[in-house]
Amino acid sequence: MEFKNLLFQTEAGIATITFNRPKALNALNAELLGELSQALDAIAGDEDIRVLVLTGAGDKSFVAGADITELAKSSALQGKQFGAKGQQAVNKLQCLSIPVIAAVNGFALGGGSEIALACDFIYASENARFGLPEITLGIIPGFGGTQRLPRLIGMNKAKEMIFTGKMISAAEAKEIGMVNKVVAADALMTEVMTTAKAISQKGKVSLRAAKQVINAGMGVDLKTGCAMEIDAFALCLASPDAKEGTTAFLEKRKAVFKASLAGD
Ligand code: CO8
């Protein structure tokens, strides 16, 4: 697929979306958000894609937030429409049935941090910087940052980041549990692709079930979450993936998972 503001490629079941406005540090304009939604729809409809990776073009920035030139000209109504477009895209990202890894290769500010937060986990380069600087612009996060950040790192730490608008280093982001791994900039994509490949070789049905149950379980009480887990477990057990996984173990060989979500 061809886009104006994104690069999109797939290889061996791993799709990569690269935010591609390097002159504006990959800032998010309305057109880019529309393209992101389109790309995510295409990925959701492609059974052969098993993992998605998001990163930024250039060596300086993942995404430096919403495009401030556009925001500066927006009325409240246009801002609401822009916010809705952004939230639609990040919600699609979070609800995608396949695992999504953010490879944060520089600034992840405002909407950039919010996109990374909607991914399943984040690997960052040593030069990455995270922050929600909206308060400095007289606004607040609008792509889910006030909701996802406290859920991930705790309310007090999230409030400190959002109230001060300060950037934190990749090392600090790892310390507070926002980032899973920090590596040298030139090793980031290799590290991300190694993990993406390992995940892509697992069963698609069980990956989907695990992601769905973890995401849905975060919004309900433990008892309800555990009940959802049992149902999802039973569905997995009925899939060809479970047959292959358990048979491969007993035959002392590596499982080769073929089942698609459609069950063929
Ligand atoms: N929007 C537009 N252009 C940007 C942005 C941005 N967010 N960030 C950087 N740029 C542009 C700069 O204007 C500059 O362009 P030019 O070369 O034409 O002058 C170019 O990128 C390079 O930037 P700098 O020269 O500033 O590079 P530095 O290395 O000196 O600084 C920083 C890098 C620290 C990243 C700095 O550019 C910066 O602070 N950028 C703004 C970061 C920011 O505040 N982001 C939050 C935006 S608000 C947001 O994300 C809200 C999301 C939710 C909206 C919901 C609406 C309802």
Q: How confident is the model at residue 261 (pLDDT cuts 50, 70, 90)?
A: very low
Q: For residue 105, is pLDDT > 80?
A: yes
- Is residue 264 over pLDDT 60? no
Q: What value does the mean pLDDT of the chain take?
A: 96
Is 245 a residue whose pLDDT tops 50?
yes
Buried residues in 33-53 as b, exposed as e (16+ CB within 10 A): bebbbebbeebeeeeebbbbb
Q: pLDDT by residue (tens digit) across 80-91? A: 999 999 999 999
| pLDDT tens, residue by residue, 140-193 | 999 999 999 999 999 999 999 999 999 999 999 999 999 999 999 999 999 999
Q: How much is the pLDDT for 1?
A: 84
pLDDT > 50? residue 247: yes
- The residues, ordered by sequence, that sit 6+ positions from 141 with a Cβ below 8 Å of its Cβ are 110, 111, 114, 132, 134, 149, 162
- What's the CATH number for 204-250? 1.10.12.10
Give me ligand 1 centre to Cα 75, in Å.
Answer: 20
Indicate which residue's Cα is closest to atom 53 of ligand 1: 142
Instruction: Fold for 6-200, please state it.
Output: 2-enoyl-CoA Hydratase; Chain A, domain 1 (3.90.226)
pTM: 0.96
**Cα–Cα dist 185/163, whole Å:** 29
**What's the 182 CA to ligand 1 centre distance in angstroms?**
23
Spans of all domains in the chain: 6-200, 204-250
pLDDT computed for residue 262 by the predictor: 43
Mean pLDDT of 65-69: 97
* 92 confidence band (pLDDT: 50, 70, 90): very high
Q: Residue ranges of the alpha helices (H) in 119-239?
A: 145-153, 155-164, 170-175, 188-200, 204-217, 222-237
Whether 102 has a pLDDT exceeding 70, the answer reads yes
Measured in degrees and rounded to the nearest 5, phi and psi for residue 196 equal -60, -40
Q: How long is the chain?
A: 264
pLDDT score at 258: 84
Element containing residue 102 per DSSP (H, E): strand 100-104
The rounded Å distance from CA 66 to ligand 1 centre is 8
**Which whole number is the average pLDDT over 237-245?**
95
**What does the pLDDT average to over 95-114?**
98
15 C-beta neighbours (distance < 10 Å), count: 24
Taking only the tens place, the pLDDT of each residue in 23-48 is 999 999 999 999 999 999 999 999 99
* Residues whose beta carbon lies within 6 Å of some atom of ligand 1: 24-25, 27, 64-69, 79, 82-83, 86, 107, 109-111, 133-134, 137, 141-143
Question: What average pLDDT does the segment 211-238 reach?
Answer: 97
Residue 259's pLDDT is: 57
Ligand 1 atom closest to the CA of 134, numbered from 1: 48
Quick one: tokens of 157? 């730490």
- Mean pLDDT of the region 236-251: 95
d(CA 178, CA 171): 10
Share of the chain above pLDDT 70, in %: 98
Q: What whole-number distance in Å separates Cα of residue 18 and Cα of residue 32?
A: 11
